[in-house]
Amino acid sequence: MINRSRPPADPRLTERRNPATGDIDLADPARIVELLNREDRRVPEAVWAVRAEVARAIALVEAAFRAGGRLLYVGAGTSGRLGALDAAECPPTFGSPPEMVQCIMAGGEAALGRSTEAAEDDAAAGAAEVDARAAGPDDVVFGIAASGTTPFVRGALTRGAARGARTVLLACSDPPAELLASVDLAILPKVGPEALTGSTRLKAGTATKLVLNAVTTGAMIRLGRAYGNLMVDLVASADKLRDRGERIVMEVCGVERAEARRAIAAADGRVKTAIVMVKRGVDRAEAERLLAAAAGRARGAVGEPPPPVEGAGADG
């Protein structure tokens, strides 16, 4: 007689089967897109539900940066790769030094391009990586684990706390009670079971990207690395970014491209400094002094807001 007993239900939400996609293997391409998109539409709602926790994370990271500390992401697999992506995008977007936001990846850099999933099971390795970076009270150790149970991440968070760092856990399923009690902050967007069971590169990955985007963008904005909604601390390392920097100076200062280009060159490539130089009619040294006095905020150094956004207020 065939034993049809079911295995015990996995307590992790990310490992449960999704009843809405049980026949996805029979679907044509259009239906697959419909099913995936229907599930994806749940993600923003889940992230919205934890907005208070995301705001607290922004405040923790801002405080770390102001103290000269770092944001240390820790993850494995998709979670780690998303942390690495966010860390890599901060320097060109905000002009931040590479060491300011880092990612500790289970399996090391090789795991960014090739799956080394077994590395996630080594809690001691996670702890050792935190030791190797000498994490301390000025830092935030930010664990990313879709399931909430990754040993590598747990080891890093535990060691980070022992070294006095602030600790944050981002997961899409309830973590073990002892881990939840040990971190300073848990961000738990419940996106529900994946369309493809256990494939957390789907909804959980999307939720993770949204949260990480908000945390670093929010913290950098709080540090004055934006003027209105303009990326005035970008690093003009490519033609697209050089063009964007020139257009920002043109818009904010009301000058032609040639003058904007000269101002940026005189500011040693720093768009924010160039804006202060042109708006206040000062040299680079004085612009830098004004920015320092305004805690790095262009709005304070210039003494006025940026030009209004065209069409602002049209949508209420």
Q: Which of 234, 203, 215, 129 is nearest to 168 (CA)?
A: 215
Q: Is 246 a catalytic residue?
A: no
Marked catalytic residue, from 89, 251, 259, 286: 89
* Amino acid identity for residue 27 in this structure: A
Q: Is 117 a catalytic residue?
A: no
Q: Which of 50, 125, 41 is nearest to 80 (CA)?
A: 125
**Beta strand spans in 171-253 (E):** 185-187
For residues 303 and 294, give the distance between their C-alpha atoms in angstroms, rounded to a whole number: 10
Are β-strands 101-105 and 71-75 bridged in parallel, bridged antiparallel, or unpaired?
parallel
* Amino acid identity for residue 142 in this structure: F
* Amino acid identity for residue 307 in this structure: P
Is 170:145 a contact under the CB 8 Å cutoff? yes
193 CB-near residues (< 8 Å, 6+ apart): 13, 14, 15, 16, 17, 18
Marked catalytic residue, from 34, 45, 109, 120: 120
CA 49 to chain centre: 18
Is 141:157 a contact under the CB 8 Å cutoff? yes
What per-residue string of b and e applies to 263-297 under the rule 16 or more CB within 10 Å gives b? bbebbebbbbbbbbbbbeeeebeebbebbeebeeb
Cβ neighbours around 189 below 10 Å, total: 26
DSSP label at residue 76: -
Residues forming the active site: 89, 120
